[in-house]
Amino acid sequence: MKPEVTVICTCYNHENFVRESLLSVINQTYEAIQLIVIDNASTDDSRRVIQQVVDKHPRIVFIRNTYNIGLCRAFNQGLEQASGKYVIDLAADDIMLPERIQKQVEVFETLNKEYAVVFSNAAYIDSTGKKFGYHYALGAHGGAEGQVPTGDVYKEILRRYFICTPTIMMRKSVLMKLGGYDENLSYEDFDFFVRSAHDYKYHYIDEVLTHKRVLDGSLATQFYRVGNPMLKSSWEVCNKAYDLSRSQEEYDILANRIREFIKKCFVAEDAEQAAAFRKLLNYIEDPGWETELLVWLCRLRLPVNWLYQYYAKWRNQRNLQLMQQGVPFVQLER
């Protein structure tokens, strides 16, 4: 008997993409799949599109929320009904390549219970489905350039965003032990990575198995917007990491990550959150004059966000041009 895999697809206003996303699950070469779709009170035509797919594939579990309960809580709705040994969290605008689940299960089944996650490389696509880059730039051999962390990745999780979240397959027993996603947070991956990587290992498959769609409203693009709730959620996760860290090296890495978040607060014009990060940093080490200056500049509420948005737009256009010229693409910032 092949182990069952539960795919939890959360949708909010993805009417143009959700059909393709669901079909990418239905058309997998692996058969033992439970598909759960949650419409989080979309205001567009997403629900009708999903229903059309469900009508043709009645085994799909379709949950219709009457109001938007947030990404993390919606995922946990699906997790409550998940029967699979492994779980995939799929956004309704991303696409899984046909052999993804089969390849991830085959690898997972060779690993012991120390491993909580199997992840892979991904291609970035735009709203039209056009490919414009890769999470890990490809070398001449077709695999990722450079070394991708695998095994004990806790320190790397603290250091930077290096895992493309839509590519991960999770061991359900670990998810349940952790209590699912933290419903108090506005986004899920940093928190899940910190809590799971602290006690479990990760395994990397050096293949492109997912297409991640990048839109103007995507999570990665929201991080620098004024008034976004993601910085507060990141502060909550950094507090958890402070409690979990076990060595001076881990605290030093966390301190550097906190400084990066303070820079994001400056760009997002969020003085209150910058001060909160600074207070947490002070528990680890002296923030130093450069950080103190940046926090002070945050208090001035300088109108810098528009300049960053202009730069980000230019950078994305440049990356697309480089990709068309065959130049390796650097992964998205987070």
Residues 189-208: pLDDT tens digits? 999 999 999 999 999 999 99
State the amino acid at position 314 in one-letter form.
W
Q: Per residue in 259-273, pLDDT tens? A: 999 999 999 999 999
Query: What is the band of 131 on the pLDDT scale with cuts at 50, 70, 90?
Result: confident
Given a cut of 90, is residue 220 above it in pLDDT? Answer: no
User: For the purposes of burial, counting CB atoms within 10 Å of the CB of 112, is it exposed (0-12), middle (13-18) or buried (19 or more)?
Assistant: exposed
Given a cut of 60, is residue 328 above it in pLDDT? Answer: no
Query: What is the band of 130 on the pLDDT scale with cuts at 50, 70, 90?
Result: confident
Q: CB under 8 Å to 206, separation ≥6 — which residues?
A: 120, 121, 143, 144, 148
What mean pLDDT do residues 227-235 have? 92
Query: What is the band of 320 on the pLDDT scale with cuts at 50, 70, 90?
Result: low
What distance in Å separates the CA atoms of residue 135 and residue 150, rounded to the nearest whole number? 15
In the chain the first and final C-alpha atoms are separated, in Å, by: 40
Distances (CA, A) of 15 to 22, 43, 44, 178: 12, 10, 7, 32
What mean pLDDT do residues 34-47 have? 97
pLDDT given for residue 84 in this prediction: 97
Could you tell me if 115 and 151 are in contact, meaning their C-beta atoms sit under 8 angstroms apart? no
Q: Per residue in 13-27, pLDDT tens? A: 999 999 999 999 999
CA atoms within 13 A on the CB side of 67: 1
Q: Per residue in 79-92, pLDDT tens? A: 999 999 999 999 99
pLDDT given for residue 331 in this prediction: 54
Could you tell me if 242 and 257 are in contact, meaning their C-beta atoms sit under 8 angstroms apart? no
pLDDT given for residue 263 in this prediction: 93
What distance in Å separates the CA atoms of residue 266 and residue 206, rounded to the nearest whole number? 36
pLDDT given for residue 81 in this prediction: 96
Given a cut of 70, is residue 123 above it in pLDDT? Answer: yes
The DSSP 8-state label assigned to residue 138 in this structure reads: B
What distance in Å separates the CA atoms of residue 172 and residue 26, rounded to the nearest whole number? 21
What mean pLDDT do residues 164-190 have? 95
pLDDT given for residue 1 in this prediction: 84
Q: CB under 8 Å to 237, separation ≥6 — which residues?
A: 185, 190, 191, 194
Query: What is the band of 127 on the pLDDT scale with cuts at 50, 70, 90?
Result: confident
Given a cut of 70, is residue 316 above it in pLDDT? Answer: no
Could you tell me if 211 and 98 are in contact, meaning their C-beta atoms sit under 8 angstroms apart? no
What mean pLDDT do residues 321-334 have? 57
The DSSP 8-state label assigned to residue 303 in this structure reads: -
pLDDT given for residue 327 in this prediction: 60
Query: What is the band of 307 on the pLDDT scale with cuts at 50, 70, 90?
Result: confident
- Nearest CA-CA partner of 117 in 190, 26, 192: 192
Given a cut of 70, is residue 44 above it in pLDDT? Answer: yes
Question: Rounded to two decimals, what is the model's pTM?
Answer: 0.91
Q: CB under 8 Å to 159, separation ≥6 — which residues?
A: 253, 256, 257
Given a cut of 80, is residue 323 above it in pLDDT? Answer: no
What distance in Å separates the CA atoms of residue 112 and residue 33, rounded to the nearest whole number? 22
Give the rounded distance of the alpha carbon of 145 from its chain centre: 21
Q: CB under 8 Å to 25, separation ≥6 — which residues?
A: 7, 9, 33, 35, 90, 96
Q: CB under 8 Å to 84, separation ≥6 — which residues?
A: 3, 4, 5, 6, 32, 33, 34, 172
What distance in Å separates the CA atoms of residue 309 and residue 222, rounded to the nearest whole number? 11
- Nearest CA-CA partner of 173 in 120, 119, 113, 118: 113
